[in-house]
């Protein structure tokens, strides 16, 4: 059966775990050759191996996505290994929790670098290749945290809002060159919660987070991968500059309590 991305070449940053790994696997299953780029060389290599074992094509590279030389090398790897670059998924991002007035400049700069500067770099190095090809798609991972505030996440809120508006400008600048640029805004996604919090606290966190979503649960990485694959494919051919929310309904809510009588 024909895949949605047959013959395409894609890069996935932070492709070693969570949303990135699920998307790398899905891209490959849809026929794309995938460069899996991650801060953890071990995780990148593991996802590459899984794709190869399933009969797909992939390469792995260890990178810090906030490092210009690393993103340049990743783009070069796509060209050298697979001959072109059709899909750039700028997915790296990180949060550090602290109140704004207690946030150190180092912490602020780290979150902005890994979350927003990495997206800028992905665009900076992918766009010239795509302009020369006269085709290409960029998808950036933003967040609903880029559309609203969260307690203790000021640097992340600012960085993800930056990703959303950078997406719009990149879409405008490149629309006439056959390049589409969009972002996805996930709600709470069930990624490495257990590794970060430990099993007991992770279960509690999943329950609390799940209950905050009208759908009643957190999202799964594969659900975001499905949205990203749609944006990467020709099925979204008239969509550019958009922020696609995939959040189980959480941003549909004003935050007002349930009205008496509304069962
Ligand atoms: N999980 C959520 O609830 C959620 C919600 C909205 C948005 N997001 C965004 O989705 C993206 C992926 O998040 P996730 O939850 O899948 O992450 P994850 O924690 O499951 O995996 C993150 C991966 O990124 C890699 N990584 C970390 N820093 C990196 C860097 N500087 N360069 C390259 N790779 C790096 C890690 O090694 C890891 O393999 C991030 O941009 C995140 O902000 C996540």
Per-residue pLDDT tens digits of the chain, which is 263 residues long = 789 999 999 999 999 999 999 999 999 999 999 999 999 999 999 999 999 999 999 999 999 999 999 999 999 999 999 999 999 999 999 999 999 999 999 999 999 999 999 999 999 999 999 999 999 999 999 999 999 999 999 999 999 999 999 999 999 999 999 999 999 999 999 998 777 778 888 889 899 999 999 999 999 999 999 999 999 999 999 999 999 999 999 999 998 988 999 98
Verify whether ligand 1 is closer than 6 Å to residue 182 (CB atom).
no
Supply the pLDDT for residue 151.
96
Supply the pLDDT for residue 62.
98
Residue with the two structure tokens 């590279």: 61
Q: Annotated catalytic sites, by residue?
A: 156
Nearest-angstrom CA–CA distance, 49 and 237: 31
Q: Which of 37, 243, 75, 228 is nearest to 137 (CA)?
A: 228
Supply the pLDDT for residue 87.
99
In terms of residues, how long is the chain? 263
Nearest-angstrom CA–CA distance, 183 and 163: 8
Supply the pLDDT for residue 198.
82
**Structure tokens belonging to residue 132:** 């020369």
- DSSP notation for 167-233: HHHHHHHHGGGTEEEEEEEE-SB-STHHHHH-HHHHHHHHHHHHHHSTTSSPBPHHHHHHHHHHHHS
Q: What is the pLDDT of residues 161-171, one digit of tens each?
A: 999 999 999 99
Q: Strand 33-38 and strand 57-62: pairing?
A: parallel
Verify whether ligand 1 is closer than 6 Å to residue 122 (CB atom).
no
Nearest-angstrom CA–CA distance, 58 and 51: 7
Contact 181, 123 (CB under 8 A): yes
Atom of ligand 1 nearest to the CA of 218: 3
Verify whether ligand 1 is closer than 6 Å to residue 74 (CB atom).
no
Measured in Å, residue 64 CA sits from the centre of ligand 1 at: 12
Of 167, 191, 192, 215, the one to substitute when testing ligand 1's pocket (max ligand atoms within 8 A of C-beta) is: 191
**Structure tokens belonging to residue 254:** 């004003």
Measured in Å, residue 41 CA sits from the centre of ligand 1 at: 15
Verify whether ligand 1 is closer than 6 Å to residue 192 (CB atom).
yes
Atom of ligand 1 nearest to the CA of 64: 32
Verify whether ligand 1 is closer than 6 Å to residue 226 (CB atom).
no
Q: Domains for the chain: give ranges and CATH numbers.
A: 9-247 (3.40.50.720)
Interacting residues of 235 by C-beta distance below 8 A, sequence separation 6+: 4
């Amino acid at each position: 059966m024909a895949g949605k991305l047959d013959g395409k070449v894609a890069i996935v940053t932070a492709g070693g775990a969570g949303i990135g790994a699920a998307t790398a696997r899905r891209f490959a299953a849809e026929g794309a050759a995938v460069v899996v780029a991650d801060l953890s060389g071990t995780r990148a290599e593991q996802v590459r191996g899984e794709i190869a074992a399933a009969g797909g094509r992939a390469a792995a590279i260890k990178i810090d996505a906030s490092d210009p030389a690393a993103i340049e090398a990743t783009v070069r790897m796509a060209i050298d290994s697979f001959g072109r670059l059709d899909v750039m998924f700028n997915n790296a991002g990180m949060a550090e929790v602290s109140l704004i007035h207690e946030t150190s400049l180092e912490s602020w700069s780290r979150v902005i670098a890994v979350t927003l500067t990495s997206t800028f770099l992905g665009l900076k190095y992918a766009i010239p290749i795509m302009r020369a090809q006269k085709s290409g798609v960029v998808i950036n991972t933003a967040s609903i945290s880029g559309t609203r505030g969260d307690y203790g996440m000021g640097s992340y809120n600012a960085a993800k809002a930056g990703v959303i508006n950078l997406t719009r400008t990149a879409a405008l600048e490149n629309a006439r060159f056959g390049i589409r640029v969009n972002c996805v805004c996930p709600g709470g996604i069930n990624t490495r919660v257990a590794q970060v919090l430990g099993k007991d606290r992770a279960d509690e966190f999943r329950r609390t987070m799940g209950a905050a979503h009208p759908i009643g649960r957190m999202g799964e990485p594969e659900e975001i991968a499905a949205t990203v694959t749609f944006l990467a494919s020709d099925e979204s051919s008239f969509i550019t500059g958009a922020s696609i929310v995939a959040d189980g309904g959480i941003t549909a809510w004003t935050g007002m309590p349930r009205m008496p009588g509304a069962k």
